[in-house]
Amino acid sequence: MQPNYAVDMRLNIRTPMRDGVDLSSDIYLPKASGRFPTVLMRTPYDNNTPLMIEKAMRLANTGYACVIQDVRGRWDSDGVHYALFGHGPDGFDTQEWIGQQEWSDGKIGMAGGSYLGWVQWQSAPHRSQHLTCIAPRVMCGDLYSGLIHPGGAFQLNVALTWGMRTNGRTAQSIEYHNWTEAFRSIPLIDMDQQAGRTLQFWRDWVTHTEYNAYWDEVNVENKWGEIAAPALIMGGWYDLYSHNTFINFNGLRLHGRTPEARQSQLIVGPWPHALSVSTKTGDIDFGANSLYDLEDLELRWFDYWLRGIDNGIVGEAPLRLFIMGINEWRDEREWPLARTDWQKWYLHSAGNANSLLGDGSLSPEEPSDEPADHFVYDPDFPVQTAGGNNCCSPDIVPWGPYDQRDVEMRGDVLCYTSEPLAADLEVTGPIKAVLYAATDGLDTDWTAKLVDVSTSGYAKNLCDGIVRARYREGFTAPKLLQPDQTYQYEIDLAVTGNVFQKGHRIRIEVSSSNFPRFDRNHNTGNDLGTDTEMRSAQQTVQHSRAHPSHVLLPVIPRQ
Residue 549: closest CA among 271, 376, 276, 347: 347
The separation between CA 306 and the C-alpha centre of its own chain, rounded to angstroms, equals 28
SS3 143: helix
SS3 511: strand
Q: State the burial class of residue 423 (Cβ atoms within 10 Å of its Cβ: 0-12, 13-18, 19+).
A: exposed
Residue 233: closest CA among 206, 266, 203: 266
Q: CA-based Rg of the chain, rounded to a whole angstrom?
A: 24
CB count, 10 Å around CB of 16?
Answer: 12
Respond yes or no on whether the N-terminal peptide bond of residue 392 is cis (omega within 30° of 0).
Answer: yes
The one catalytic residue in 24, 77, 104, 114 is 114
The one catalytic residue in 70, 76, 192, 239 is 239
* Spatial separation of the C-alpha atoms in residues 462 and 90, rounded to whole Å: 38
* Spatial separation of the C-alpha atoms in residues 148 and 272, rounded to whole Å: 18
The answer to whether residue 403 is catalytic is no
DSSP character string of 241-270: THHHHHHHHHHHHHH-SSTTGGG-EEEEES
The one catalytic residue in 243, 273, 348, 543 is 273
The answer to whether residue 273 is catalytic is yes
- Amino acid type, 432: K
The answer to whether residue 239 is catalytic is yes
Catalytic residues: 114, 239, 273
